Structure formats: structure tokens, C-alpha cells
Structure 1
Amino acid sequence: MSGLSLVWLVLLVGTAVFFILQCLVVLKMKVDAGYLFAFCIYFDLFGYFYKMVLPGQALLLLIAAPLLPVAVALLHKPTSSWGFLRDQGFWLWGIFLVYALLSLAWAPSESEGLMKEIVLLAHGVVPAIYIYIVYKKYGRFSWNVVAWAGLTYAIAHLLLGVYLEEYPGRLTLPGGNPIFNARASLLTVTVCLWARSIPLPVRVIAAGAAMASALATQSRGPLAAFLIANALFFIVWAVRKYRDKKQSIKLSRFAIPALLLLLMAGAGFSMYGQQLGDWVGGSRFTVLFDRARLQGDDNFIGRVELQLKAAEKLDASPFFGAGLGGVTPPLARDFPHNIIVEMAAELGVVGLAMWTFAVLFSLWAALRYATVLAILLVQCIGYAMLSGDFGFNYEYVVMAFVALALLPERIGKGVATSHENIVSYHRV
């Protein structure tokens, strides 16, 4: 980058900072935490454009860009912005992360466990705390913003994505990994299915584009996690609605639309069934419903082998584990691709129990106040169990902290009317 370009960039950033400060401090503009949530979840897209303009690590943008509204939220007439320091769930996550850091004391010297925790902190924990603080200060969170951001991400992935030799037949953003693209797009589909206050045209278009984006990656683990999480919550929702006599009448409203959708799906399948069958048969998704192909899949066999080796480490040190990084590169060939197995082997039963308590507390908060977050949290845990690792599977941490942000004031004040429109409380 030339010196003149750098000067113009500094002036542009300075002008933007001054303008935002005027809006926040003088005009008292309220920041919607949904923007920070979308910035974190769809950061691959922002990082892609960042790398086109500036050198260096794109994660710096994730940490630095939201600092201004967060600092204003903390310092300018703070209300409950510091609530995360008193939050039970926050301390559960904090204890787990500190324990993971302490486990480096008995990890092998060549372990890269510290880097794994730094990646998790930078990608998930710090942005999640940002969202928590801004939400507590301004009390706004719009799923409509998330849907629009997800639509933009999906379109960018479909238009700018490439087929790399490393990932044959799988569409990915340049320099990225198709599994990350699939995870983000399937989160968009879930938001469009369950969150309220999203206009129907945006809901349909965003869900369609995001599903096309996810399928183009041919990532099997994220798709399986998406189907399991949404099917599970749909069954619970349908059973509860059926048991509620008042709500059972409302279910009849869905009969005609559901019938029309079935008819349209049947007509489409009859017209394009052969092409669809050929596409599925030649894709990586075949293993999801063909056990023989799954057992013969090199990717699956390799991951099972890695997980068995991790289980041997757990058997050798079941209580405290091998230490963070003890069963992952550079000590091993690859990650076990299952966060439960990985944490059990590296942090032992103690670390896994700490993590479980933190996740369950956050899930309880989400189920109580924002079911869409509960579905997203379960879906992200599924991501981590089917094809994830400790560092780069960060989405579930973001979902957990957003759920915790809803909890303290609700318990202390009952049903707070000032928060009724913050998150779409779509109860199961």
C-alpha cells in the first residue's frame, strides 16, 4: 500500500470514528446488538474484503471494529453494561477457560494449546462479550438485521466463491474453508425459520439463498447438525401446540399452506427428480443416508481413527487429561473433529464437566427467554461434535453469551416490558 493510500485510509477511518462518536454521544443513537452479532457470525465475508485491501491478520478487525460502540456503552452513562462481571453464566464460562489455560502446565512442551485458546477468545469470547455489553446498554437486538446480513453473506458466497483444488466440487470463499461457509449459511436458515419480526419476503429469499449457499459447499457435518437441531425443536413445538387446546385451533391455519407446499414439492420432484437424484448420488451428501458409503468414506474413517487415538489419551489420564493441545496438531496429524472427544482427552473429565455446566446454563437461559437462540446453540454444538475443534468452533460461545445477556434482568425484574421487542421470544 502506497503512502498516499495509507493517508487517505487513515482520514477515512478518522472521519468514520468522529461521525459515530457524534451519533452515540451527542445524538444518543441506540446501537442494535444484532449488528455486532451479524458481524461476528458472518465475519468470513468481512475478513475476505479486509484481506483484499490491507495486509495482516483479519482477526484484528473483529476485535478492533466494534470497540468504539462498546467503549461508549461502558463509559458513557453506563447502566448495566458491566453486568457480565456479575453474571453466573459468565463466571461458569470464565472458570472453564481459566482451567483450559492452566492445563497448559501439564500439556506437552510442543503443544499449541495456547494458540487454540487465543483463537477461541478472539473469534468467540471477546466478540460475545461485546454483544453482551451493547445489548445491556441499549436493549436492542433485531433478527431482521441478522437475516439481511445472512442474505448478503449467502449471495457473496455464491457469486464470489471458487472451487479450490484442495476442496474439489465444494464452493468456498477464496482463502476460506467450505465448512465455515456452510455453518454460517445454515445459521441464517435457522434464524429465518424461527425468529419473528422478519418480513416474509426477506425470510423466504434469505432462507433460500442461504440453503443454496450451504448445499454448494457439500459440507455434511453442518447439514446434519442443522437437520437434527431443527427437527428436534419442531417436534417439541408441535407436541406442545397440540396439547394446548387454544393453540390447536391455530394449527389449522397451517394446514392449507402445508398442503400447498407438499403439492409444489411433489410437482418439483416429479419434474426434476432424475436430475436431483443424479446430483445427490454424485455429491458428498450420499453418506448421510447410505451406511455402506459412510463406512467406506476415507474422511469418516480418518476421523474415527483420530478419535480412537484421543480416547486412548483420555484412558491414560481420565481426570485432568493430556493438557490443552495434547491430542491436536502439531502433536497429532489432525484434530479429532469432535469437540467432546477433544476436550475429554485434553482437559479430562474435570474440564468436560465445567464446559457442560456452562453450556447447560446458557441453554436453560435461551430456552426460557429466546427459543431461537436455543436452537442456534444446539445447532452450533452439533457443528462442533460432527466436524469441529476447540479453537475455530466459536459460534456456540456467541449464542451462549447472547442468551446470558437476557437472563439477569429477567430474573431480577420479572417480565421487563422495556425488553419485549428486543429479541423475538419464539417459545417452543
Structure 2
Amino acid sequence: MTRLIKFLLSKEFFFVLFLTSGYFKSSESKIDITFVCLLVTVVLALKDMPNKMEKVTFRLIVVLAFIYALILIGFLYSPSASYAIDKLIKFTVLTIPAFLIGIMILQSEESVKRFLKSIIAVGVTMSVFAIYLFMSNNAGIGFIGLGDGNYLGLGRVTGLTFLILMIWITFSRMPRIKALLTIAVALLVFAALSISGARMPLLAALAVGALIVLRSVRIKNGVVLVSSGFKYLFSLLIVGVAFVSWLFSKGYLDTIIYRVSVLFTEKQGGVSAEGRLDRYNEAYEMFVSSPIFGKGLGSFTIFYNNGVDINDYPHNIFLEFLSELGLVGLIGFLVLIFLCLTPILKSGFKGMKLEQSALLACFLFLLLNANTTGDINDNRMMFAFLAIIFKVGTIKRKEFETVRSVKVPTEQSGGRIKGRQLA
């Protein structure tokens, strides 16, 4: 019980609550959970903040400050008023803190593990509530979400949770009982993801999940290398197919099947996809018109909606930078991504740690989502994961568990089994 209380009061858990609170809080609540969790996280993080900042960390801060300066300047010449102000405020009080706290908060292996476990805790809790709502409402065609019905938020959190569990199943050395329990939890979370109706989170989770499966098996010099938890991954896939078939037979997947089928059966992928294509085209035209500095912060909505100043955006984070902040803004964003991924890029993705693999899978998932929905502030969790990936790569500790594989007996290997790091 003491360990549970310590976990629930940790800075990592409150940080995850800050990042995900917008996905389950209600607009009718008198207390803003997001800012409460942000305040608590900052207070707890400052207690353990290191005295000196590393030089490479300082470079990240400089690039982030450069992007922020562009946003401030873009606000000055933007034709938008309402949305531009909203966007500037949210970037200042939500997105920047998400990135900076991601750098400050993780100082050890245990801290990284607590962060990932916190995501699982929130994801599983949201999954249980979502399934309960689905079953109690006898839902057929329709979306499932918490708080104000944020189905995309539910999809993102459950997608992240599923991928983290999948990484642990595939690459860690777990006892059989723990592995089977993890598989059961992963299936529960995947069920919540599937019934949410969130199309892109499901497709992104399947795409990144396929990469995890591909990385679990390699052939080198005629020797087949499989991950240490390959048998459990195989079990997850087999049981998962049977489980999804059962969900399909009960009609629980009607919403997501309908939404995915629209992409292939209706003109231009349906109304939703067609609207995104129109936005992509408008954002590109804005970039062509003002290629260097763009049209200004929040300006997309003015051009796309014929002067109406509402919350609207290109639904693609790269086109958002290009259309509103131009090439200069996009280059700043790309440099930030490159610096954060530098520790992994330097290693050539070889010998990655278990935690790095989980964080990278989550980042890829969030990046795919950022290119179909949400503006820069809606995707602040992606910025947080960027910072955390960078931080994990700079933690100089040897306790991290290395992603491992085993050599499958073949004629070339003489039937021997040997532990080996999966490159």
C-alpha cells in the first residue's frame, strides 16, 4: 500500500495526469484539473532539479526559445485575433511546460519506469471506464469517450498504453504469470481503443505495432534471432485475432469498421478525409504565398474559413508550421526533433534500451496522429515524449535493461541457443 501511495503521489504520475487530463476531464468541473496537475508536477520536479544544465540540453532550450520567438512574432502580423490569442496562451502555459518538464523530471532509470507505468495506469483506468460506458449504453454505431466525450483522447491514451505493453511483452524477461497478465491487460486496452471509434489512433497503433513485430525477428548470417519475449508476443497476436473476431461477431466494432471502410468506399475517403485534403491544399497555398515566415500564428482559420476567426487548423503539424510560420518555423521544429532523437540516431538504433524502445514507439504513434488531427497545442504530448526520449538517451546509468533476443537453433548454429543483444 505504501508503494502504491508513493507512486500515486510521484511527480511522474502527476506529469502524466497533466498530459492526459484534457482527455477525461469535464468542462463543467469548477476546478481545472490540468493546471492543478501542472502546478503539483512543477513543485515536485523543482525539488529534484539538477544544479547544472548540460550543454546539449541548453541547445534544446535555445531551439525551443527560437520557435517561441517565431510564434510571438507570428502573433503580431497574424490576421487572426481570437484563435491566435488562444493558441499563444496554450503554447505558453501548456506546450512549453510539457516539453521543459519532460527534460527536468526524469533523472534516473526508476523515474523513467514510473513515467511509463503511470501512462499504463491512466490508460487502463480510462479503458475500464470506457468499456463500462459502452456496455451500459448498449452502444452500436457511435463514439465512446470520457469527460466531454473526447473519443480521440481515449484513442490516443489507449494506443500509447497498448504499445508500451506490447514492447514489454516482446522484449523484457517476464515470469510466465506476469506475462500472461500483461497480455490480458493489453487486450483489454486494445478493446477500448477499438470501440472508441478513433480511426487514426487505431491505425497508428497497428502500424507501429507491426514495426515492433518486425523488430522482434531478424535473420543474420543464416541465424534467426527472436526477441526474448517472442513466444508471448506470438501468443498476444494469436489470442488477439480470436478476441477481435469475437468483438466483431458481437457488433462491438461496428463504428470503427464503418469509419475505416469509408476511407475506401466513399469519394475522397468520405467527408472527414475530404475536409482534411481541402485543409492540406489551403495550407500549401498559404505557404506558397508566404514561404519564409508564413501568414502568422493562427492565420489558417482566416484563410480557410473566409475570415471567420474560429479554432481551425490544417490537421497536419508540418503544414501548420509551413502555413503559419513558414520555412523558418518548420526548420526550427525539425531541428528540435533532430536534437531530441540524436542519442538514438548516433547509436544507429542499435542496442536500444527497453525504455527507449517504448518511448520511440510512443513518439512515432503520436507523430502519425499529429499529421491527421489537432493543432500544435493539441499535440503537446508529442513534445513531451520528444523531450523524454532525449533525456533517457543522456542518462548515464548502466541499470537500464537492454532489449535482448535469443538465437533460434538452426543447422548453421549447430542447435545452440545463445543470448544476444538485438541490434
Structure 2 length normalisation: TM-score?
A: 0.75
Answer whether contact 1:186 1:222 (CA < 8 A) is retained: yes
1:190 and 1:243 map into 2 onto residues whose CA distance is 26
Alignment of 1:2-401 (within 5 A): 34-44=12-22, 47-48=25-26, 55-74=30-49, 78-79=50-51, 82-83=53-54, 86-108=57-79, 110=81, 112-136=83-107, 140-142=111-113, 143-160=116-133, 169-195=142-168, 196=172, 199-235=178-214, 237-238=215-216, 241-243=218-220, 248=224, 250=226, 254=230, 258=234, 279=254, 283-288=258-263, 291-293=264-266, 295=268, 297-328=270-301, 330-331=308-309, 334-366=312-344, 367=349, 370-401=356-387
Identity, in percent, stands at 19
Answer whether contact 1:84 1:132 (CA < 8 A) is retained: no
Inter-CA distance 129–392: structure 2 relative to 1 (3 Å threshold): same
Q: CA deviation at 1:380?
A: 0.6
Inter-CA distance 244–377: structure 2 relative to 1 (3 Å threshold): farther
Structure 2: tracts of 5 or more residues without a match: 303-307, 405-421
Inter-CA distance 271–338: structure 2 relative to 1 (3 Å threshold): closer
Q: CA deviation at 1:219?
A: 1.4
Inter-CA distance 202–348: structure 2 relative to 1 (3 Å threshold): farther
Answer whether contact 1:90 1:401 (CA < 8 A) is retained: no
Structure 1 length normalisation: TM-score?
A: 0.74
1:270 and 1:105 map into 2 onto residues whose CA distance is 54
Amino acid in structure 2 at the alignment position of 1:95: F
How many equivalent residue pairs? Answer: 380
Q: Using the TM superposition, name which of 265-274 and 386-395 deviates more.
A: 265-274
1:162 and 1:268 map into 2 onto residues whose CA distance is 17
Amino acid in structure 2 at the alignment position of 1:140: S
Q: CA deviation at 1:255?
A: 6.3
Partner of 2:417: none
2:229 and 2:34 map into 1 onto residues whose CA distance is 47
Q: CA deviation at 1:400?
A: 0.5
Amino acid in structure 2 at the alignment position of 1:58: I
Answer whether contact 2:107 2:395 (CA < 8 A) is retained: no
Q: CA deviation at 1:284?
A: 1.3
Amino acid in structure 2 at the alignment position of 1:224: L
Q: CA deviation at 1:322?
A: 0.4
Partner of 1:9: none
Amino acid in structure 2 at the alignment position of 1:191: I
